[in-house]
Structure 1
Amino acid sequence: MNNKSQKFKLGEWIVDLESGNCVSDVLGTVRLEPKTSAVFAILIHAQGELVSKDEIIVQAWSGQFASDETLLRTISRLRSALHDDPKSPRFIETVPKRGYRLVEKAQLIDETASVQPVSGQPKRKWLYIVLAVLICAAVLAGWFIHTAKEQTAGRDLLTQADDFYHQMRLADNEMAISLYEQHIDLQPGAAAGYAGLANTLVQRAVRYTVAESEHYSSLTEKVEAGVLDNEEARNLLNRAHTLAVRAVEIQPNSAVTLKALGFVQSAQGKYEDAIETYERAIAIDDQAWQVWINLGELHGVSGNRQLAVSAFESAFQSMRARYEEQEVQIRPWIADIAAVIGTYYLEDQAYSQAETWFEDALRYAPLHESGTLGLAQVLYLTGDRLGGVELCQQLASRLQKEIRCEQLPETPAILH
């Protein structure tokens, strides 16, 4: 349609698509978010015809990322604003697996009345001017408040999404995906949302696409074993790569966006590209602990133990420095990294350093399994065999897990 007016009547609602306001004599006024208003406009202009999901996404998001879940949430917000029951819709009908349409056509409101100028009354004229200025100021103030609220909401969503993502559980990862998509919906020009969503899709591909993935402990092990060589994982990684590239395009000098791109490259087996990307990230933020962790894993799989240990140690120090600020995100990781470092020193028979790192792991997680078993083996190999076995047995008892404590190895190796 090519109408100058952007006001329509739909049932009891007067809909102003330009401002996003929907007004009802009974239900009052609600203001639609920009994306919700854009989707509503598409349905209104379709005049009751079916509009496919893909078509709505292409028109409303204009090349930005949006999934079916994003559209579903937007439709849900629109229905909530209109007090429309999806089980018995008055306004918006869902056509399963196809799209959406309006139950009834919206009626265009013709606004052709013009305001006649008033002459010979200069005082009233100035009154109108002052009134117009005040109205404009109020509108601008409202716009700034609305924008500030959207930005605050976006930041809150991003923080929540980051916290869920770092917990490394399936349900938390799926929640993070949903929150990152909402963040992108609110702030489509913010790079962090695209980077975060890319990370979660890599995590979904690496950890949750195939049952065999549980037999391997690290991303690189899964890549080398071909666990990610399946259509579902490839599709997720391709989508994640598109999102990460978009994030870097928006904010090229960000450790956050570069970390996401490096993570995708690692999962795709492009280790050299990933290392180069991670090093660019570290040059920007040398306390980006997530980047140091991933860089350490890549150096390890490449056979460079010295660089691997150095990267993991940098990760640990960065986590300690930012622990109070990012405790929810760091807590699930810090003991693991200390234990990884301890294992490297244990394998090199550097028992004093290994003992220190295993003890660091237990300071953050007193029942950390690999940290406890590593410390038990250090005791065993340095002469305190009884102490090592007892420590191992205490762990087995408290975790109610069968561990072969009487068979602690004579050479450095971690029990599993």
Structure 2
Amino acid sequence: MPSSPAPVRVLRFEAFEVDLRSGELRKAGVRVKLHDQPFQVLTMLIDRAGELVTREEIGKTLWPGDTFVDFDHGLNNAVNRLREALGDSADKPRFIETLPRRGYRFIGTINGSREIQSALYVPPVPATPHEPGRLVPERRNVRRARYAWILLLVLILAAIFAGMNLRSFKGRLFQTLASESKRSIAVLPFENLTGDANQEYFVDGMTDALITNLSKLGALRVISRTSAMHYKGTHKALPEIAHELNVNSIVEGSVARSGNRVRISAQLVEAANDQSIWVRDYNRNLQDVLQLQNELAMDVAQQVAGKLTSKEQSRLAARTRPVNPEAYEADLKGEYFLTKWSTEGFEKAKQYFEQSIIFDPAYAQGYAGLGEYYSIVAFLGVVPSRENYLKAEDLSRKALEIDETLVQPYVTLGMVKLFFRCDPAGAEKDLNRALELDPGSVYALDYHSYYLLKAGRADEAIGEKRRVVEHDPLAVEASSELGMYLSSVGRNDEAIPQLRKALEIDANHAATHVRLADAY
């Protein structure tokens, strides 16, 4: 006789219920969002209520032996999330008690449990004897496999008899499969564990570096900084964020530092099941921060996209030389304030970029940042344009003399040639070079789309701008500019709904209101 399914318990303590079948935590009948690993910790502690469960025991359950993980960070993170879901406190615990350096103990009172039969139970099918004409699972699978091969053969033969070239047919087939398997990822703003709120520029810089490095890989669609920063300080569940950004995977982590020593803890989460699939810690001196950033990006990319091509590996390894810590930090501060797009922010950005060059006259990124600053303020008319376009040009060329792999100077030179030199051919050459160096750079793609629009190649411009919005779905300016592109060529029936989408992101965005009025 087939054996009975094992009963599954629903455990209760105070207002909470733990459903071991569905993997859910409920409070007063309402589901509480809780990731898989914190839930596993809860079930282990409840199963041995009142007893010590060591950190080592929990670690062996959460992470198999072949998992790369920063054990302390991963476990502390799981316990903290569990306490947050329970409304518990480490200082005055009601449920989860910490035994320093040893482990944890569940100190709540189990009110009871009820047993239910698993709805997923299916009685085993006997191998023999079986009913005539009825396939047991093994034979059914064999026959299905034969049908699949026959179907594939028929499709290939049909392609041949239809006059199609088989090689072309196979190419299109596998190209389609490859595009369907392209992975998408979002890097959420890293948590600041430096203990100093003034270090936000540094933490955000580490987030930006990972986004930039991952974007160099053609196998990944990477969400841009602007959209990722919408989730800074948020407590939304990761599957909800993944749904809003339309991504498969999410990277979250933290940054800590002590003097010139930097530590980044990162975790890769599969969005579909909210399961942590990779965790690792990186420790470096600040002068080796570029090596740290490249190693982190390489590890994340391999986890998400598999083996990298030699070209992709060379892109990531292009800039790993030691840096002057003072010059690097000044440059980070400059980038941080440049993104503020305010008069005060521009002035601070200029000062920090200049400091970066003073600290290290051979630091290419400092020249690149200062060059971009001058091109932006010249374009916006904040300062006299001619003098500052010339400065932007000189500084960008200086940056490329030091490091010809930088994308930022090529973009700046391209825009100077477009707006100041009236040299569209030269602008196209520089912007194309930027995209050759970093095909996934949304920054370069955005400027390239604007060049195409000005060059009268509206359809290409709109196509590229759509890709920008796909990578930066929560950036109101990108969404609004797509509407402007459409309106500029008379496609107002498309422009109007696009501009309305932009206002859903930011209802007070003045430029979008003006563009929408023009489109009607």
Normalised TM-score (structure 1): 0.37
**Bigger share in helix:** 1
Larger RCO (CA under 8 A, 6+ residues apart): 2
Normalised TM-score (structure 2): 0.31
**Bigger share in strand:** 2
